[in-house]
Amino acid sequence: MPWSDISEHIADALNQPFAAQNPRPISGGDINAAYLLEDNGQAVFVKLNAASQLPMFEAEYQALLEIKAGNTIQVPAPICCGVAGSRAFIAMEYIALGAAHSNSPAQLGQQLADMHRTTADHFGWHRHNTIGTTPQCNDQGDSWLAFWRDQRIAPQLQLLAEAGYQGSVQSLGQQLLAALPQLLEGHQPAASMLHGDLWSGNYAFNRQGEPLIFDPALYYGDRETDLAMTELFGGFSPGFYDAYQAAYPLDEGHQQRKNLYNLYHILNHGNLFGGGYIRQAEQMIEGLLLS
């Protein structure tokens, strides 16, 4: 492992001496190898992947910086990213994780609502990033419908087609794209700052029980997409939803849009893992076309 190279990058970025002693592997990630590096009382969290994955870490670095600057919810402060030897790396503040206290889920809901009140002039982001390891397009535009169609659902269908899934998922997918004007009729969301990949593995609490989020797939879009994803795999408690709803009530019709938004992640799981996710996507589309 190129630890001395990475330590030098970290020392430069922190503008203080830093030489990692015995990096400790950290479990829990989906995609990258993660480590805790410590020196001089400074604890740094580092993720490694193949050098070709540098753009993924550059996007994560910029996303963490942008969320942090919004000052609404805790994220690890990014330190630097780059290539060392055959590895791409990202280094960020290490935050020791702890247990929730009774009010922690409500704090998460309140702070996510605060983050969603941070808005941009356009949907999208100034750069592309990834969702899992799948490319995620963020071309900016003024129409939420066009964004959801052209930057989210259509590219996932295209990737499935390229992987050989030419059958019913494609014909259903085309019908769904044509039905989007009805499914999103009258809905004009703000372009909110989103986490973008808000499943239960991407939030935690620090030793004081304060929430933090990490591993964002940031873009600006309908805040309902973040809320929808929290329900897709579970792991968020009632206190979270109550506090969010009290802080920033959801628009009418959000229950109907939930499956349309979660379809993106199920299509993505189809692209990443195949199998049952393709059938699940087809069933979701069939349900949406009937609604």
Residues at the site binding ligand ADP, with contacts judged by CB under 6 A: 26, 28-32, 34, 45, 47, 76, 92-95, 97, 201-202, 204, 214-215
Q: At closest approach, how far in Å is the CB of 94 from ligand ADP?
A: 4
45 vs 244, which CB is nearer to ligand ADP? 45
What CA dihedral angle connects 211, 213, 218 and 224, to 10 degrees? -50
Active site residue 197: yes
Q: In what order do the strands lie in the sheet with 203-206?
A: 97-98, 203-206, 211-213
144 vs 203, which CB is nearer to ligand ADP? 203
Q: At closest approach, how far in Å is the CB of 96 from ligand ADP?
A: 7
31 vs 180, which CB is nearer to ligand ADP? 31
Nearest position to ligand ADP, beta carbon: 29
56 vs 228, which CB is nearer to ligand ADP? 56
Three-class DSSP category at 213: strand
What CA dihedral angle connects 114, 116, 118 and 124, to 10 degrees? 160
Tokens of 41: 């009382």
H-helix segments, the chain: 3-14, 54-70, 104-116, 144-147, 154-162, 168-183, 224-232, 238-247, 254-273, 276-290
89 vs 165, which CB is nearer to ligand ADP? 89
Q: At closest approach, how far in Å is the CB of 90 from ligand ADP?
A: 9
Nearest to 109 by CA among 223, 262, 273, 268: 223
Amino acid at 202: N
| Catalytic residue, candidates 12, 114, 121, 197 | 197
- Strand 211-213 relative to strand 219-221, pairing: unpaired
Q: At closest approach, how far in Å is the CB of 54 from ligand ADP?
A: 14
The residues assigned a catalytic role are: 197
